[in-house]
Each structure stands twice: as C-alpha cells, then as structure tokens.
Amino acid sequence: MELFFRYVRENWVDLLVFTGQHIMMVLIGLLLALVVGIPLGIMASRNRASARIILTVANIIQVFPSLALLVLLMVAFGLGTTTVVVGLFLYSLLPVIRNTYVGLTQVDKSTMEAGKGVGMSPLQIMLQVQLPLALPFMLTGIRIAAVIAIGVATIAPLVGGDGLGREIYSGINMNNSARLYAGAIPAAILALLADLALERLQNATRVAGR
C-alpha cells in the first residue's frame, strides 16, 4: 500500500496529465455524439420507419465489444487519439439517440396542441416545447453515455491512445500493482464524479410536478 502512495507522490504530475487527456477524449467524443445523435433522435421521433433503422443500427454498435471496435477502427484510422475519439463517439450515440427519441415522444400531445393553437410553427414547437420538456431524458442519455465513454476510454492505450488506461496497462504489463491502482482508482473516481454531477444536472432540469 505504501508503494502505491509513494508512486502517486512521485508521479502525480503524470497522473494529472493522464486524467486531463482522459477527460478531453471523453468530452470530444461526447460532443460529437450530441451533434450527430440529437438530430438523429429528433428524426426518429418524427418518423416511425427511420426510428426503427436508426435505433437498430445504434443498438448493434452498442453491443459490439469495445475491444474489437477500437481495434477495427485502428485499422482505418491508425494508432492514436483519433481512433479512440471515433470509438467514444460511436459508443455514446445510442444513449443520446434513444433518450432524445424517448424524451421527445413522451411529450404530452395536448401540450403540443396548445403550442399549435397559439400559432407556433412545427419548428418552434420543437425548439420551445418538445426539446425543453425532453431535456431530463436527454440528460439521462448524456449521463449514461459519459459513464460508458469514460469506461471505454480506459482501453485507449491498446490502440495508441492516452489517458488513465496508460497506467493500468503499465501496471498489468509490468506486474506493478501500484501503477495499476494509480490508473484504476482515478478512472473509477472520474466515472463516479461524472455520474453524480450529471445526475444533479438532470434533477435540476426536471419539470416541477412530473
């Protein structure tokens, strides 16, 4: 145990850098997933047929083992951060799409009618009524995506990426438990903090009286 504390004391700068890299990869992957996923979710909510296709494809990506997906992406994008970010983007898609879709489709029809009655265009209804009401659901999707992304990002070093997974791999490959924990524990804490923070955000946006 003291080996662990000594290691952290000696290398805390590196660990901080790894943590930063980890967060960065997750953020970019998540952002891309939002940019692509929310529109897809909106599309799915308006069109039954497209919903089926979009959700099925996203489902299959989700089931694909992360180890395999990252390795296959590496064949296309080479070693490095790009491969990891593309992988994180893909894994964040389903939660974002599905939760956007569910959030939008559960909006009370009468609320939307009210909007139409006041003279809102379909676009305005979407932007000013549906999306805001779907926000708690979407945030749940983001929360799930974030936790998954932080998890997948720990595998990044396998395809030349950075992040806290570096220490975990070093620990496994060099049979060094101190390093193992130096990578695993911050990764675990990161995931828990993200989950907690997003849960707070989610609760804050919940409509009163739901």
Within positions 118 to 137, which residues make up the interface with another protein, using CB under 8 A? 128-129, 131-133, 135
Kindly state the smallest distance separating residue 155's Cβ from another protein, in Å: 6
Contact with another protein (CB under 8 A) among 19, 36, 120, 176 = 176
Binding residues for another protein restricted to 69-98, rule: CB under 8 A: 69, 71-72, 75, 78-81
* All residues at 6 or more sequence positions from 87 whose CB lies less than 8 Å from its CB, including other chains: 29, 66, 69, 70, 73, 152
Q: Confirm if 94 and 62 have CB atoms less than 8 A apart.
A: yes
Contact with another protein (CB under 8 A) among 66, 92, 99, 100 = 66
Cβ distance to another protein smaller for residue 50 or 111: 111
Report how many residues bind another protein under the rule CB under 8 A.
Answer: 71
Q: How many CB atoms lie within 10 A of CB 191?
A: 19
What CA–CA distance (Å, rounded) separates 144 from 142? 5
Tokens 């879709």: give the residue.
Answer: 101
Cβ distance to another protein smaller for residue 44 or 168: 168
What CA–CA distance (Å, rounded) separates 27 from 21? 10
Cβ distance to another protein smaller for residue 43 or 176: 176
188 binding another protein? (CB under 8 A):
yes
What is the CA angle 101-98-147, rounded to 5?
A: 135
105 binding another protein? (CB under 8 A):
no
Contact with another protein (CB under 8 A) among 34, 51, 54, 126 = 34
Contact with another protein (CB under 8 A) among 16, 53, 60, 197 = 60
> Tokens for 28?
């970019």
Q: Confirm if 44 and 50 have CB atoms less than 8 A apart.
A: yes
Binding residues for another protein restricted to 132-171, rule: CB under 8 A: 132-133, 135, 147, 150-155, 157-158, 160, 165-166, 168-171
202 binding another protein? (CB under 8 A):
no
Q: Confirm if 157 and 127 have CB atoms less than 8 A apart.
A: no
**C-alpha dihedral (124, 129, 130, 133), degrees to nearest 10:** 150
